[in-house]
Structure 1
């Protein structure tokens, strides 16, 4: 599977989990805990493989200042979600109103980030990298993801 298809599949999976979390009620404590744990694990693995493998390849192939801007913006969005919003959500009582608000903010942040990648970075990557390079990156992403999500 090529790198972009693998990353897009991750986006779709996280979107589904976040939608299920948003639709859950304050009474569904176990369901909310389970969903947040799955989301956290998937986001951590996804951001790791992007930052270790895909983003460096994109940056190395980049030719314009816009490519650098996309790269650094994507890193900052990862930081915002992974170091600020997600830890707050993990530490929040799943039966509280605060939980619902934080889940919504995480969902909006992840959706914005995924949409930007899919509309801007991925099409640009298809221009900068050959099919073979994307296939090789896909294999590397898949192998690393398997290590992170046994």
Structure 2
């Protein structure tokens, strides 16, 4: 599977998990905890493979200032979701409306980020990188993702 297909599949899975979390009520504490654990594991694995493998390849192949902007913006969006919003959500009582609000903010951040990648970065990556390169990156990313999900 090529790198972009892998990342798009991750986006689809993450959107489904976040939608399921948003649909829960304050009484569904166990379900919220279970979904949040899955979201955390998947988000960490996804951002890691992007930051360790895909983004550096994109940045290296890029030649325009717009490519650099996409790269740095993507990193900042990861930081906002993974280092700021997710940790707050993990420490929030799942039986509260505060949890619901933070879950919604995480969902909106992730959807915005995934949408930008799919509309801007991925089409650009297809122009910058050969099919064989995208396949090789995809293989590396699959292996690394499996390691991260196990660990």
What is the TM-score when the length of structure 2 is the normalising length? 0.99
Query: What is the root-mean-square deviation of aligned Cα atoms in Å?
Result: 0.3
**Match of 1:90?**
90
Q: 1:2 aligned to 2:2?
A: yes
Quote the offset at 1:37 in angstroms: 0.5
Instruction: State the alpha-carbon separation in 1 of the partners of residues 27 and 63 from structure 2.
Output: 51
Q: Which runs of 5+ in 2 are unaligned?
A: none
DSSP-derived class of the 2:9 partner: helix
Instruction: State the alpha-carbon separation in 2 of the partners of residues 57 and 50 from structure 1.
Output: 10
**Match of 1:77?**
77
Instruction: State the alpha-carbon separation in 2 of the partners of residues 146 and 92 from structure 1.
Output: 29
Quote the offset at 1:132 in angstroms: 0.1
Instruction: State the alpha-carbon separation in 2 of the partners of residues 97 and 16 from structure 1.
Output: 21
Instruction: State the alpha-carbon separation in 2 of the partners of residues 148 and 103 from structure 1.
Output: 23
Instruction: State the alpha-carbon separation in 2 of the partners of residues 22 and 72 from structure 1.
Output: 29
DSSP-derived class of the 1:93 partner: coil
**Match of 1:118?**
118
Instruction: State the alpha-carbon separation in 2 of the partners of residues 112 and 26 from structure 1.
Output: 25
Q: Which runs of 5+ in 1 are unaligned?
A: none
Runs of 4+ in 1 over 4 A off after TM superposition: none
Quote the offset at 1:6 in angstroms: 0.2
**Match of 1:28?**
28
Q: 1:100 aligned to 2:100?
A: yes
Instruction: State the alpha-carbon separation in 1 of the partners of residues 89 and 13 from structure 2.
Output: 19
What is the TM-score when the length of structure 1 is the normalising length? 1.00
Matched residues, number: 150
DSSP-derived class of the 2:114 partner: helix
